[in-house]
Amino acid sequence: MGNYMEVLMKLLNRKKLITILSCIVAILWMALIFNLSSQVAQESNKLSKGVTKIVIETVEKVAPKADFDIKKFNHIVRKNAHFFAYLALGIFVINAIRRRKIYGYKSIGLAILICVLYAISDEVHQMFVPGRGPQIKDVWIDSAGACVGILVYLGFSRIKKKVMKVTK
């Protein structure tokens, strides 16, 4: 009986640790977004132009005659960065919520609410960063990214459940 209790306690501690780590990952991702939003306009633009340059160089290796409007392409890179940063946030937040044993529509609604409120707060934060400003369009892009991330998480969870049933 003592061995069974030891295993049970280790399992419970492992689950608690995973729950805590899931929450920490979501918070650290929010901190990363905050840090990126804290960059003054020139710094932020320099970073996205660097990413744009790498993407263009890679595409030109595959399609050497491709013609790019670098300014438009840089804008697309910047907006995609918003989308994918919040896609990851959506995954991390829904995971943390579900690890806390909140399921169903309640977990989905809570995850969306947290991500949308964070997107709004991020744009408000940018009002105080030199050269940056709030854009409602970015809140929409961020929110769409978060919703897609949540859907991706739910899709993989459903697949995992089916696989687990088959392997049992």
Q: Over its length of 168 residues, how does the chain's per-residue pLDDT go in tens digits? A: 567 777 767 767 889 989 999 999 999 999 999 999 999 989 988 888 888 888 888 888 888 877 778 888 888 989 999 999 999 999 999 999 999 999 999 999 999 999 999 999 999 999 999 999 999 999 999 999 999 999 999 999 999 999 988 887
Per the structure block, which two tokens stand in for 109?
């609604």
Sign of the CA dihedral with 148 first, then 151, 155, and 157 last = positive
* pTM for the whole structure: 0.88
- 70-74's contacts with Cβ under 8 Å and 24+ in sequence apart are 74/45, 74/48, 74/49
